[in-house]
Each structure stands twice: as C-alpha cells, then as structure tokens.
Structure 1
Amino acid sequence: MQESYQGKLSVFFFFLIIFSANAQTNQIQQDSTKIESLDEVLVNAVRVNATSPITHSNITKKELEKRNLGQDLPILLNYLPSVVTTSDAGAGVGYTGIRVRGVSSQSTNVTINGIPYNDSESLGTFWVNLGDFTSSVESLQLQRGVGTSTNGSGAFGASINVLTQAVSNEANGEISNSFGSFNTRKHNVKFSTGLINDYFELSGRLSQINSDGYVDRASSDLKSYFLQGTYKDDNTLIKALAFGGAEVTYQAWNGIDAETLATDRTFNPSGIYTDENDVTRFHDNEVDDYKQDHYQLHWNERYNNNWSTNLGLNYTYGRGFFEQYKEDEDFADYSLTEMTIGGETINTTDLIRRRWLDNDFYVVTASANYKNNNLDMSFGTSYSNYIGKHFGEIIWARYASDSEIGDHYYDGVGKKKDFSLFTKATYKLNDKVSLYGDLQMRFIDYKTTGLSSDVVPFNIDENYGFFNPKAGITYELDVNNYIYASYARANREPSRSDFESNPNVRPEQLNDFELGWRHTNNNFRINTNAYYMLYNEQLVLSGALDNTGAPIRTNSGASYRLGLEVDAAIQISKKFAIQPNFTISSNKNKETIISQDGGLVDLGKTNISFSPDFVAANALVFQPTTNFQMSFLSKYVGEQYMGNTDSEASKLESYFVNDFNVTYEIKPNSIFKSIVLSGLVNNIFGEKYVSNGYYFTYDDDFSNPGTITTIEGAGYYPQATTNFLIGMTLKF
C-alpha cells in the first residue's frame, strides 16, 4: 500500500512539473491576459469557468435576494437542475436538507471562501448554524457530479462553493424585515463603510430569524452575525472575517407514521412523555442548542497579469447539545447504581439528558494561479485538523441514584487530520479545443477513543490515501456552441455514524463520465448534460435513522446513476422569459441481498434510495419594468423509495408544487437609495406532500413462535401547505 501511494504521488508531481514548465514557457504572452478581480481569485481553486467540461450552475447575489425572506440557503437552491430539498419543520426554516442527483448532503462538498464547511466527522452541512447566511453571499457555484478538486471531503453528488460578500467601494447600509406564516419573521441590519482612503473597508450584518414551524412545536430561534475587514489595493486583497450563529431549534426529526400523516399531518412526537398521573405531555425544551463561530483570514496577491496566490486560514469553534426527555431508562445504561426505597429496588428512571458536541476545526489553504492566453493553471494544498469532544450528561432524573451534577455518562473524542495536494489546468490547444486536467492526492487520519453515545467502546483508527484524477475536453463549434466530455474519479471516507453502524464500513469510490452541450445567444440559452456515475461500495441512505435523527448509510456494492439534465432560459420578449430544467435518470443498485423472514433474499437490481427518476422545475418570469418582476415557480419530483429494496412501504409519492414570487423596487429622491418590497407565496395550490422520510425493518419472532417475520415501517416529514412571506428592505 505504501508503494502504491508513493507511485501516485510521483505521478502527481510529474504533472505538476509539466504544467509549471509550460507556464514558464508561455509567460511572455502575459500582456493580453484578462485580469480578473481579486475577489474572484479567492475561490479560483474550487470553481470552474463557463467553458470548462464540468457541469455547473452559477447563482449571483441579485438572484438570491429575490427570495431571501428567511428560508435556509438549500431551499433557495430548490429550482436548480437535479436538486431536491426538504425541511424538518416543513417551512424552510430550521433544519433543511438538499440532495443533488439523489445524493445526500453528506456527499455534497461545501466550501465558504475555499474553506471546507462540511462537518469533519458527520460529513454533513448544517445551515441552521448560520442563520440568514444568504444575506452575506456574493455568489455561489453548484457543481454537479464529482466536479473539480476542492478542499475538504470529496464530492459525490455536488459541490457548493460559496463566496461571501465582495468589497464595496461606496458606503451603504440596509435594514430588512420580513414576516409570514407560522409566525415566521426575519430582521437584519447590514452596513459597509465603503473604501476608506481607497484601501480599507469594514462591513457587517446582524440577523435574527424566528419561526414556529409548520410542524407542531418545530420552532426555530436563529441569531447570526457577519463581520468583515478588508484591505485592498491594485494587487493585494486581505480579508479578515468573523461570522457565526446561535440556534435553538425544537426537534422535529422523528417524523410521523402513515396513519398520523393522514389524520394529523402537523403532529410532532418529539418530547412526548406520560407524567405520574398518566397525562400525556411534551417536554418544552426538547431542543437542539448549538453555537458556531468561524474566523477566517485570506491574503490574495497578484504579482502580474499572469500570477496570483491565495493563502487562507480558518478556525471554527462549535459547541452545543441536544436535549431529550426519556422514560423508564435503565440505570445500567447511565452507569447508575441500583437503589432501594421502602424495600423496593429501583433500577429505572425518567430523566432528561443532554448529548454534547464541542469541537475545534483548524484549516490552512494555499494556492497559486497562472494564466496566459492559452493556459490557466492552479496548484495548491490544504491541511485541516479537527478535534471533536462527545459527551453526555443527565440534568434531571426522577431517581438520581449516586450521580452528581455535571457527571458524564459517556465521553469520547474524535480526531481527524486531512491533507491534500492538487493541481489543475485548462490548456487551449487551438482556437477550437481546450483540454482540462485535474489531479488531487488526499490523505486522511481518523481516530476515535472513549465511548459512543450508546455507551459502548468506540475506537476507530483508520488512514486513507486517495488519488482523484480528472480529465476533460471542450470543443468550440462556434461562438454560441460548445460540446464537452469529462471523466473524474472520486474517493470518499465513511462518516462517524457510518462507523457506529458498521465498524467494517468501507470507503466509497465513484467514476463519473459526463458529456454535454452548451448553446448561448442573445435570447436563448440551453445546457444539456448526460452523465454516468459508476460507484463501487457507494454509501447510500438505508432509509433508517440513528438515535440522533441522522440518516444511516450502508455500502451498496456496485451501483450506478445514469441521467440526462437539461436546463434552458428562453427570452420570449423583452418582458417575458421561461427558465425550464429537467432531469431524467436511472439510479440502480446492481445487486441487493437482504435478510427477510429469517432467510437471505436476492432482490437483484433495485432502485437507489431517495433517487427519483424524474425531477423538473420551471420559472415563468414577467418583468414589465426594470424595477418590477413577477415569477411563477414550479417544481415536480417523481416518486422515490426511502430504502433500497423497492418495497411499497418505503415509497414516497411524487409531488408537484408551485410558488409565486414578486419584487418591486422604489427609488425615492431622498433618505433612501432604494426600497425593495418582496413577497413569496409557497405551495399556492395547497399540495399536501412529503419530500423526505425514513424506512426501517425489524425481525418479529414473538407473534408466531418458531418463525421469523420481517416487519416494515416508515416515517414521514410533511411539508407545509400554502404559506407566505412578505418583506421590505430599506437601502441607504
């Protein structure tokens, strides 16, 4: 294994030397090179350009602002190709999720200014920790498939690369307020000093979002901040950022069964218990309470029209818990000693517990970029160190036994080090053909010690070395038409919960083949892309959840995703445009063997969980004047299975929802530069739909002694019927 890694590393550096030599040879062509803004250089290492052979969508600040009324960022990306989103609370505030091409958010790589945002152990992204973060986003790029090499965990379905707000030349400020259904409200204030003495700028934001949620008691209380100090001249950009948030979210991850869905779809079983008088109650603090602070420093330097560099430093501090009321818990599960009261032995108790996660995350990234007329090359490195402390405590118990305040009933530590090297280049072979190459080496060291939350020993010591090559070609048919083809390989490590479910879990590998055509003219744009994603040991969602509400994944052996994506923008007239997209796909496990009714059953080829065969969206945009726009937004998601057995009990029905969005800008002559009024009606036809859920099975050997019967069950997360948000932003 050691020799294999050394061989791969030798190949990596060989390509790096070739690219570097080419760069030096072509340096004389620098005079005609286009100079890009230093803000763009900040994310150059993780983004691709319009003609690259990587399938992607770009979203600007202006596009996000139209619907930015308090819902989380994943919900605002709902109408992009191959995207399916969901919300635990049902209304887009609080815990939300995004799947791209059927792949979960755990397999979607997210970076903020080139810094990894995915949690190192769970591999997930929790936007609830950064409430109203959209208000500080300058632009983002969603890459579908493997995408380009990036920092942090590998991408298996998509990459979301976020750039925070750019430097403002002029002083400005704004106050934004929105209100809506389920007592949802968002308030924020933003400011920028503009460039002081042409060099310095200070900007910031404070936000608060509250919502009761569509689901009972699924409330959210989100507070967040963003502060940025900048130094800028013609060739230097230095940014110091501090941003973060505090969230208190009532748990809604338990879902409801089919019967409850039909009779009381907003019911939330979280926190339910029976008191001493047999009265059903709900614990009023069954919440997730978490704080997260990010500190980043970026130094971008442009040396000439060809060369630029970027250095990034990051420290993230997270801490918090989720609280649960538990009935009739065994003393032994909490290391409590049996007690005797009035001659009766007591060994169970009702209690309230908190499961804590305190973590520190350190990152350093460094990259260099070289450009001339024919070559655009980047190379760099990333190193991160994560330390996560997991522990549990009992804050109240009916019978406390010999426990003391502050005692921990489990303690565990997870440590993860991640080191990567990459080089990528686009070389213009001639006026028609461009070649793309991308090589990444990634090394991971993951160790855990102590006990898991199930109070069992949890000791993992794994090292991985991944080589991720990518190559592509783009051919320019004419100024309006490009065709491209690419191949990319990605490898990805299991998450902490994967190891908890199966200590022998294996890393997953993906070979991604893409073929596309892009056409653009003044009134019509269309992108078509065919993909074949061939997996080995893909970690797919089993449909089940662990005891913290996290999805349980399992290796699926050989599997594939084959699909066609089409998205377009058609300018019918000066005032009216249509923006449709759809994805047709086949997502299959090549062989599925399960335990059923006491024996093994070969189901053959089955559908991959949470992977609908058809997803479509459309926007009808009417803009009679430059300051007034109305959009009618539609989304269709085909039926999907929550497990990998094609069981009818695991099926989520298809749904078709429609939203209406309107914005109107007033430009008064005094006081305010602009007053923006906006409104959003979600699900205007009141569709009762479910976008997410879970599926489970268990063996019953009690009903019929001597036989084993497999019992199936499912849980559902209902989404809100018709609801609205209205807002006003004052800019000055």
Structure 2
Amino acid sequence: MTNFSMSITTVMLLFCMSTFGQNSVSINITGDNKNPLSNVSVILGETAKQTNHEGKVIFNSISTGTQKIKISHIGYRQIDSLIQITNNPTFHLQLQKNHIRTEEVLVTATRAKNNASTTFKNIDKREIERKNIGHDIPFLLNQTPSVIVSSDAGNGIGYTNITIRGSSNERINVTLDGIPLNDAESMGSFFVNVPDFASSVQNIQVQRGIGTSTNGAGAFGASLNMQTNAVEEIPYAELNNSFGSFNSWKNTLKVGSGLINNKFAFNARLSRIASDGYIERASSDLKSFYVDGGYYGKKQTLKATLFSGKEKTYQAWYGTPEPLLLSNSGRMHDYATNALGFKKNTETYDRFMNADRKYNYYTYDNQTDNYTQTHARLHYSNYISENLNFSAALHYTRGKGYYEEFRENDKLAHYKIPPVLDGADSVKKSDLVRRRWLDNHFYGTTYALNYQPNSNLKLTFGGAYNQYRGEHYGEVIWSKHSSPSMLGEKYYFNDAKKYDMSIYAKADYTLDKWLLNLDIQYRNLHYKTKGEDDKVKNLDIHDDLNFLNPKAGITYLINTNSHVYTSYAFANKEPIRKDYVENPLNEFPKPEKMSNIEAGYRYTSSEINIGANLYGMFYEDQLIPTGAINDVGSPIRQNVDRSYRMGIEVDAGWNINRYFTWRATAALSDNKIKNFKEYVAVYDNQGNNTELKEITYHKTTIALSASNILSSELQFKPTEGLELGLQTKYVSRMFLDNTNSKERSIAPFTTTNFTSRYSFSALGLKKIDLFLHVNNILNEKYAASGYTWGSMDTDGNRSYYNFYTPQATTNYMLGMNVRF
C-alpha cells in the first residue's frame, strides 16, 4: 500500500471513528401562537446556537444518549431539561409566554437589531464567564474584529486601553443598561473605576462605526452596549476565586434571592482584584460592590441598582524607554541624560542603565492614582401592550479622587508658595509632593418609547438629558522648603459644567425581503469652565454645539440563512477637555465630523457563521494623536482637515464537529491623513527654541492605527464539561506619530494564549468550574501602545525619543468558580 493510500485510509478511519454514534439533531421552536420563533437561544450539551428565521436550529455530531438542553427567549418561559438522542431526531417545541417581565427592554432602544444594517457583534453571558478571570473588560473583547488592547501594568489589570478600528476609547460610546458610562469631559471609559463589572454583565453588543443612536457621547468609531444580569428565578450563591502570575488575585462573591412571590428579586456582588503588575511597582488594589433589587410584574418592572468601585493603582503611564526593549546600549546614555534628565553616576542614572523592559520611571512610594466612583440608577419599564412599551431611568454618578506624585526641585512660585529663607539664601525651588484632584457629579435621565403598530413597522423614540459638574484642583501636601501653613491650599482651581441633551427617532420597516432602517438624532451641548488649570491660567472655556446625526440603511434577506446590508451615517463629536487645555497649535479645537459607509454580508447556519463587511469612515477636522502624551499618559491631539479609515472586516465561526469549533477574525484597513502638517521644534546649540519647522506630508498613516489585525480561536471539547482553547492574535506595525517613520513605530506582534476549563457537579453543588489560562505561551516580547517626542537642530538633524507600554511575557491565572 502506498503512503498516499495509507494516508487516505487513516483519514477515513479517523472520520468514521469520530462520527460513530453521532447524530444530527433538528429542533423547531414555535411560540404560543404556533408561529416560528427566530433568535431563540438553544444550548444542547455544551454547544450554544440560535434558531433561524424558520425557528429551526440543527446540531451535528451529537452523541447518542441523554443530553441536557436549555432554551431561552425574551418574554418566554425558559426550558431546562433532558432529552434522549437516537437516530438523528427532530424535536418540535412550543414556548409559553412568561408573565415575568425582564429588564431586556432597558437596552432595546439603543441596540442594533438582528439583520440591521449596522456592523455589530454580540457577546453572550456564556462567553463573558468563560473569559472573565480578573482582566479588565477590554481584554474580554480582544478576539472581536479590529480590536487592540493594552495595559499600563502589562497584565490586563488596572488601567487598560482599547482601540476599535484605530479609534481610542474617547471615541467609543459605552452604556450600561442604556445609561452612559463615558466621562463627560475626557470622553474616556475607565473600567478600572468599576472593577470586575464583567461579573455583573449579561451580554455586550459591540457596534463598529457610528452605529445606532445611543445615549451619552456620540459613537465615533464604535460603541459598547452592556446589559447587567437578567433576573434569575431560582436563588443562587456563587464564589469565584483565581490566582496567578505577579501575585494577581480575583475574589468574587455573588448572591441572588431568585424570584420572591413571582414579583421581587435581589442580587449582590462583592469583588476584590489585586496584582503587583508586570511592570515594576505597577500594582493595583481594586474593590467593588454591586447591589440591585427589582419588582417584576406582568406589565411593569422597577429596578434600582447601586454599584461602586474604588481603585488604587501605582502609576505606570510614563512608559519604558526604547533602548530597554531593544537592548540598544548605544542610546542608553542619550535617553538617560536627554530624555529622562538623569545626571551621570547618580542613583537614578545607574538604576536606569541596569534596568530591563519592566522599568518604571517612578520610584516614590505613593506615586499612585486613587479614585472612587459610585453609580445609582433607577430603571422603570412598562409593557403597555404587546405593541407598545416604555422605559425610563434616572441616574447619578459620584466620582472623587486624586493622583499623588513626587516633584523634584520644582518652582515654588508655581504652587503660589513664596520663597523660603534658608539663612541668607532665598530658596525658590524645592522637592515636594502634590495631589491633583477631580471631584465630580454626573446625573440625568434617559427614556425610550418602542411602538410596533404592525408586523412590518417598528418605531422608537428616545433621548436623554444629562448634567456634569466637575472641580479640578491641586494641593501640595509636603515640601522640603515651605511653611507648614502653606500646605493643603489649592494652588489652582477650575470649575467645569457640561449640559448634554439629545433626542432620537428610529424606524424599522419590513417589505417582503427588504428591511429599511432610518435613524436621526439631535444633540445640544453646552460646555463651560472657569478658573485655572495646572498648566493654563485663566482657563475660561465657553462652547455651545448643536449636532444633527442622521443614519439610513437597507438590508436584503437572500434566504433564511443569509442577507446583505448597506448603510450611511453622519455624526458630529465635540472636543474633549485636553483638546482645549493642551492644543499643540494653541488653537480653539473644532468639533469633528464623520461620514460612515458600511456594506456587508452575513451567513448563519448550524455549522458556519460568517460576517464580512466593507467600511469607510471619512473625517473632517478629525482630532488625531500627535504622538506625544500629557503628564497623565493621555495622547495630545490636533485637528486635521481631511482624513479617512477604510477597510474590510471578517468575523467567522465554524462548528467543525462536536469536538472542534474554530472562530477567526480579520481586519485589513488603510488609515490616512491628507496633506498633514507636522510642526517640529528647532533648538540651537545653546538649547534655545528658535522656531517651529513645518513639514508637509501629502498622505500619511494615522498614528497608532494598525493596517492588519488577525485573530484565531480554536476550541476543543474532548468530553462533556471539558474545554480547551488556543487563541492567537496578530497586529501589524503601528506608527507612534503621523510621519510613517519606521524608527518611530511599534513593531508587529503575535500572541498566543491557552485556556482550559472543566465544569462538573459534585457534593450537591450546582456547578464547579476549574480553569487555567496561560497567556502569551510563546513568550512574545511586545508592546501594544506607546508615544514619541523629539526636536531638530538648526542643521536639520532630527532627534527622537520613543517610549512604550510593554506587555507581560508568559503568565497564568488559575481558578475555581463554585455555584450553589
């Protein structure tokens, strides 16, 4: 027998062995009116799928014998039972209406619906639980298309960052149950302020592009819409614990009352996450709690939620100098003396010259960020009829905190401290410790009315009104040279106010195989500050903005499994606080405008799911990062006249058989600025700034935007309850500034993670999960973000200094979750 014949025989034998005793199981689901129900969640054994437009779902390669089945759908009673599998069976199941109204309506108005002409991805509770080992929420989304994540501490705990299609978190709208999470001034979403919130999340929808109209800061690259845990009918208790590299811990206790008298339910969570961090001293100490209580009637629900987070993180935003990553001894002295300002043969100089990629510039013991944020929400929904429902919410967020830092030989006059007499000398500089405070309040209301007059038309009307009040101030708590009476006084104070009102209307119309979507939003913004900033005196800003954001799309249903769609959306977005305070061109920042075109194809079957889309995001006055950062690690931005992001994205999944599942994503993009003008400071031999040199680039790549992002996730289920996974992520080169300079860039990187989880029941416990995650198993030494700065001499020679946020080499998390 030839080698070729032996190979064919072996493959056939393996195939027969893998399919022996396997069945194809068809399940047809209807409602109480016997009409097919689409998008019903069906879990057979360990495999989860959704029914198609005909209410049908097919599971292949299912073993003969008894299998667990769980079926759930909004507004219907859940089925959790056992079924007997033999001879490729077909099951016909009818779901009964549930008189218990869940809080699903709270997010309906701001979400893209199935078959909508919006590019989106849904992440369900099952997947969230599988990945929730203590990392921040951005790291749970790492396998979604066009996503890049990074962590100041290097290991996904503490301050984290996410970009989607190259858009940073200032452009990503985040809502929790329809209520905005983004900070009103910085526009960022700081998940470190709500640690372990993933343990209270039911599902997440990630919309790429402008997306649907939503509450809060406008989506200008993507939006994350999160729903908190749905009501559970049976009491439960859950204890989740994990431990791993860098002395990382996650401890979570969850309890729920279940439904009391079929009307009331209460849930609570207490969490702590702590880590020493991969980077030196980049420790995190994060605590949080979550409590909700609700009334769930036949037509009305009233749910109150209170959650809070307290974080203390050691600062690591300065970054690691490039020579330490590249082992470039030739530039070590240059960086030490010219970039970091260390004098030769001092303690700080010697420490840097002997450091590695985990180097942290800061050494002061309490160089920390400290912040507490508390959220209170009251949600109300009313199912007025089968065709009409209404939801509204009141919310209040209280945030207060500071970051503390040591300043060496700083000018006392900057802190309004007079010179100090030291004998006959007048001391004008001193070592000191300062705290810079943020004390804010954010409150408002959101509302939505959903009306479906007939089966072909769905209408939504909604809006929000929010107010923000924030105080920014600083104080000196210790000084080597000063009078004690001068300590604790505010050396700057700035009061900020922002009013944000929005209304929107949406219409979804079905005509045979065509679905039409119309969406229009109006926003009115008023932003005002008065007082001083640490850097700018007389920081008095007054900006009034009015935005009209229309969207339209069309979907064509090819058949029950596939459809194509296209859409156009236009959006405006206001500048953020740092754009007013730290504009590199000393200009009043302009609001951004963007036209977004999406076109895609989706195919869904029991074996294969695939989504492919083309997109174009065309900007006017986009605020792009210059490559530099401010003193809290946030990128400095400037307006550019014309720029764009265009690309193709693929999101696919293949249920190969009952043992193997493969998911993959690909994002190929072109991110360009037209006629970009760079301004470089020129210094003479005496170190005096003589001019700003203007350099024009006809077409250049936008900073921190990767052209190629690829991911792969292979899951293997050798037996019931056991899952093994291998996740791989590739990110192409990213430029630190807007000059296409390879010498100022982040090198391409590939990471591979291994996951394993074993679920079983024992000792009367409902469920026990044992898991092990080994991240970066190939020990890739990479950085996922960074910044650069530099200058020129009078002869045109350019100097530059690159800093990066190195991510952890091989590390692990081991844990056990127990549900009672």
TM over 0.5: yes
* 1:263 Cα offset (Å): 4.2
1:577 aligns with 2:670: no
In 2, the alpha carbon distance for the partners of 1:615 and 1:427 equals 35
Secondary structure of 1:611's partner?
coil
The reply to whether residue 610 of structure 1 matches residue 704 of structure 2 is: yes
- Distance across 2 between alignment mates of 1:363 and 1:474: 35
Equivalent of 1:302, from 366, 383, 386? 383
Which residue does the alignment assign to 1:447?
A: 528
Instruction: From 492, 505, 511, give the equivalent of 1:410.
Output: 492
Question: Which amino acid letter does the alignment assign opposite residue 738 of structure 2?
Answer: N
Map of 2:802 onto structure 1: 714
Q: Which runs of 4+ in 1 moved over 6 A?
A: 30-35, 272-275
Check whether the contact 1:179–1:727 (CA below 8 A) recurs between aligned residues.
yes
Q: State how far apart, in whole Å, the 2-side matches of 1:513 and 1:413 are.
A: 39
Alignment of 1:68-217 (within 5 A): 68-217=132-281
TM superposition shift of 1:338: 1.4
Looking at structure 1, the residues matched to 799 and 524 of structure 2 have their Cα atoms a distance apart, in angstroms, of 42
CA distance in structure 2 between the aligned counterparts of 1:282 and 1:525, rounded to whole angstroms: 50
Q: Which residue of 2 aligns with 1:325?
A: 406
Residue aligning to 1:353: 434
* Change beyond 3 A, Cα 1:249–1:444: same
The answer as to 2:777 corresponding to 1:684 is yes
Question: Does 1:468 find its partner at 2:556?
Answer: no
Report the alpha carbon displacement of residue 698 of structure 1 after superposing the two structures with TM.
3.2
How far off is 1:405 after superposition? 3.4
- Distance in 2 (CA, whole Å) between partners of 1:173 and 1:421 is 41
Taking the aligned partners of 1:332 and 1:290, their CA distance within structure 2 comes to 28
2:743, 2:405 → 1: CA distance? 29
Q: Following the alignment from structure 1 to structure 2, what is the Cα–Cα distance between the partners of residues 475 and 678?
A: 43
In structure 2, the CA distance between the partners of 1:476 and 1:127, relative to structure 1 (3 Å rule), is same
Native 8 Å contact 1:38 1:300 kept in 2: no
Structure 2 SS opposite 1:303:
strand
2:104–2:230 CA contact under 8 A, matched in 1? no
Q: How far apart are 1:379 and its partner, in Å?
A: 0.6
In structure 1, C-alpha distance between the alignment counterparts of 2:694 and 2:473, rounded to whole Å = 38
Separation in 1 of the partners of 2:591 and 2:641? Answer: 11
Partner of 2:52: none
Equivalent residue runs for 1:517-556 within 5 Å: 517-556=601-640
How far is the alpha carbon of 1:294 from its aligned partner?
0.2
CA distance in 1, matches of 2:565, 2:106: 26
Partner letter of residue 719 of structure 1? Answer: Q
Q: How does 1:331-410 map to 2 (within 5 A)?
A: 331-371=412-452, 372-401=454-483, 403-410=485-492
> Is the 1:580–1:619 contact (alpha carbons within 8 Å) kept by the matching residues of 2?
yes
1:647, distance to aligned residue in structure 2 (A): 2.0
Residue 506 of structure 1 aligns to which amino acid in structure 2? K
Cα separation, partners in 2 of 1:451 and 1:403, compared to 1, 3 Å: farther
Q: For 1:183-232, what per-residue CA distance to the aligned partner results, in whole angstroms no more than 9, with x for missing partners?
A: 00110100001011111111110000000000000000000000000110
1:599 Cα deviation after fit: 3.4
Hey, what does 1:636 align to over in structure 2? Answer: 730
Cα distance in 1, alignment partners of residues 328 and 342 from structure 2:
20
Residue 191 and residue 560 in structure 1: after superposition, are their counterparts in 2 closer, same or farther (change >3 A)? Answer: same
Letter matched to residue 476 of structure 2: I
1:281-319 CA-to-partner distances (Å, cap 9, x unmatched) read 921000000000000000011011110000111000000
Secondary structure at the aligned position of 1:62 is classed as: helix
Q: Is the 8 A contact 1:536 1:558 kept in 2?
A: yes
What secondary structure, in the 3-state scheme, does the structure 1 residue paired with 2:762 have?
coil
Please tell me the residue identity of whatever aligns with 2:725.
S
Match of 2:767 in 1: 674
Kindly, what percent of the aligned residue pairs are identical? 41
User: CA–CA distance in 2 between the matches of 1:652 and 1:455?
Assistant: 32
1:404 Cα deviation (Å)?
A: 2.6
Larger Rg over CA atoms: 2
Question: Aligned letter for 1:713?
Answer: Y
Matched residue, 1:698: 791
Matches within 5 A, 1:240-259: 240-259=304-323
Tell me whether 1:563 sits opposite 2:657 in the alignment.
Answer: no
Structure 1 partner of 2:503 = 421
Q: Determine helix, strand or coil for the equivalent of 1:584.
A: strand
Preserved CA contact (<8 Å) 1:649 1:713: no
- How much does 1:650 deviate? 2.0
2:382 and 2:390 in contact (8 A); partners too? yes
2:113 equivalent among 24, 49, 61: 49
Task: Tell me, yes or no, if the aligned pair for 2:420 and 2:482 is still in contact at 8 Å.
Answer: no
User: Does residue 370 of structure 2 align to residue 289 of structure 1?
Assistant: yes
> Once the 2 structures are TM-superposed, how far is the Cα of residue 261 of structure 1 from its aligned partner?
2.1
State how far apart, in whole Å, the 2-side matches of 1:231 and 1:82 are: 40
In structure 2, the partner of 1:63 is 127
The residue aligned with 1:725 is 813
Q: Which blocks of at least 5 consecutive residues in structure 2 are unaligned?
A: 1-32, 38-73, 76-100, 349-361, 683-691
Q: TM-score, normalised by structure 1?
A: 0.92
Secondary structure at 2:669 match in 1:
strand
Higher relative contact order (CA 8 A, sep 6+): 1
Distance in 1, matches of 2:492 and 2:390, equals 45
Query: Do the aligned partners of 1:437 and 1:471 also contact (CA within 8 Å) in 2?
Result: yes
For the residue of structure 2 that corresponds to 1:43, the secondary structure is helix
- C-alpha distance in 1 between matches for 2:389 and 2:140: 33
- SS of equivalent to 1:556: strand
- Establish whether residue 488 from structure 1 lines up as the match of residue 569 from structure 2: yes
What value does the CA root-mean-square deviation take over the aligned residues? 2.1
- Structure 2 match to 1:589: 673
Q: What's the offset of the Cα at 1:253?
A: 0.1
- CA drift at 1:400: 1.4
Counterpart CA distance in 2 for 1:699 and 1:462 is: 36
Q: Secondary structure at the residue paired with 1:336?
A: coil
Q: 1:650 to 1:571 in 2, by over 3 A?
A: same
1:505 partner SS: coil
Counterparts of 2:342 and 2:582, CA distance in 1: 31
Deviation at 1:455, TM superposition (A): 5.0
1:39 to 103, 110, 129: 103
Gaps of 5+ in 1: 1-29
Q: Which moved more, 1:187-196 or 1:495-504?
A: 495-504
The question of whether the paired residues in 2 share the 8 Å contact of 1:313 and 1:364 is answered with: yes
Encode CA deviations 1:536-572: one digit per residue, 9 max, x unaligned. Answer: 0111122211112211111121011110001111111
TM-score, with length taken from structure 2 = 0.82
In the alignment, structure 1 residue 647 sits paired with structure 2 residue 735: no
Partner SS for 1:538: strand
Q: CA deviation at 1:709?
A: 5.1
Mapped to 1, the partners of 2:490 and 2:346 lie a distance apart of: 30
**What does 1:255-270 correspond to in 2, within 5 Å?**
255-263=319-327
| Letter in structure 1 aligned against 2:472 | H
Equivalent residue number for residue 717 of structure 2: 623
Farther off after superposition, 308-317 or 691-700: 691-700
Aligned length: 692
1:88, CA displacement in angstroms?
Answer: 0.5
Contact 1:511–1:535 (CA<8 Å) still a contact in 2?
yes
Tell me what 1:601 maps to.
695
